[in-house]
Amino acid sequence: MEMDRVQCVASVSKEAKTIPADFIRSVNEQPGITTFHGPVPEVPVVDMANKNRDQIIAEIVKASEEWGIFQAVNHGIPPEAIQQLQRVGREFFELPQEEKEKVAMVPGQLEGYGTKMTSKQEGPKNWVDFLFNNIWPPSQINYDFWPKNPPDYRNANEEYVKYMIPLVDQLLEYLSLGLGLDGNVLKAASGGDDLRYLLKINYYPPCPCPDLALGVPAHTDMSAITLLVPNEVQGLQVFKDDHWINAKYIPNAMIIHIGDQIEILSNGKYKSVLHRSTVKKDETRMSWPVFCEPPADTVIGPLPQFVSDNNPAKFKAKKYKDYQYCKLNKIPQ
């Protein structure tokens, strides 16, 4: 089934200098109206190479409590690995349409190339196409959904994930220590070495009316933690102190989102970040989030250390797959 990819809609829209009505957001969502342009605080930046480990932990804790997001620099993933990841992703989206459709998503599976299907009832469409691939652990990888073209797509992704694993472990350790727990607690609670890494490549084509549309509307990630690299085209916005503010682009930084599962495990001490993605008139924005998620049957609930008579559980304990089902179908948790 061939469906309207946003990339195709965009090339038609460019000529028409307008966008289809089903992409236009309501006034309370339009970025042209709702983006805050006053003096804004910057998304915190954490230098992972700081010799003072306690300071790194303190900065991560502060960012995770107040923002739910920070930009990690000197994180140990070589710039070349990031550049190769980005190059093969960009080359995939620049292929002819029929080539991309070879790895199209199939119903019932969250992998492959796609565009979010939205019915009229669900509201406006998102100005984005994407590619989902499970990239770790090996047992979860299905190469049927990995592009064969560009030929080095697989190699670039395998190289990237190799560097990413120790960084994820380090971040989860620091987040654990920052809660006064042993360093291994959050990772173990999120699935340990079975933690799943799901890569999503977002492709936001140029949009003639960027003030009216959104790439991805406001949401929090359902992951434990998300590690994202964007291209140089700004577009990420974070909701902070009742304002939508732009996250500054820092070359080679890794943007870290606290996801819902870490918020739940910490019983709300760490915040899952509410964020959205805007689009540009003449530039293509891309981003590469990796969602680190618990295995489907892992039960996630507030850790007993954070639940007491004075501080009751703010979240229900449930299997990750049930959480996912509710979230994807917009059913209250």
Q: Which of 125, 221, 240, 269 is catalytic?
A: 221
Of 113, 72, 135, 137, which Cα lies nearest the Cα of 202? 113
Can you read off the two tokens belonging to residue 273? 């970040």
Beta strands at 112-114 and 129-136: parallel, antiparallel or unpaired: antiparallel
Asked about 243 being catalytic, the answer comes back as no
What is the Rg, in whole angstroms, of the alpha carbon atoms belonging to the chain? 19
Contacts of residue 12, Cβ cutoff 8 Å, sequence gap at least 6: none
Q: Which of 116, 148, 162, 219 is catalytic?
A: 219
In terms of phi and psi (left: phi > 0; alpha: psi -120 to 50; beta: otherwise), the region of 131 is: beta
Pair 201, 156: CB distance under 8 Å = no
Per DSSP, what are the bridge partners of residue 73? 47
DSSP per position, 70-118 = EEEES-S--HHHHHHHHHHHHHHHTS-HHHHGGGB--TT---EEE----
Distance CA(291)–CA(222), nearest Å, equals: 8
Name residue 219's amino acid: H
Q: Which residue has the tokens 């064969």?
A: 148
Three-state DSSP class for residue 145: helix
Q: Which of 125, 240, 257, 275 is catalytic?
A: 275
Q: Which of 14, 102, 200, 314 is catalytic?
A: 200
Asked about 182 being catalytic, the answer comes back as no
Q: Give buried/exposed letters for 158-186 (b at 16+ CB in 10 A, else e).
A: ebbbeebeebbebbbbbbbbbbebeeebb
Can you read off the two tokens belonging to residue 193? 């070495």
Residues taking part in catalysis: 200, 219, 221, 275
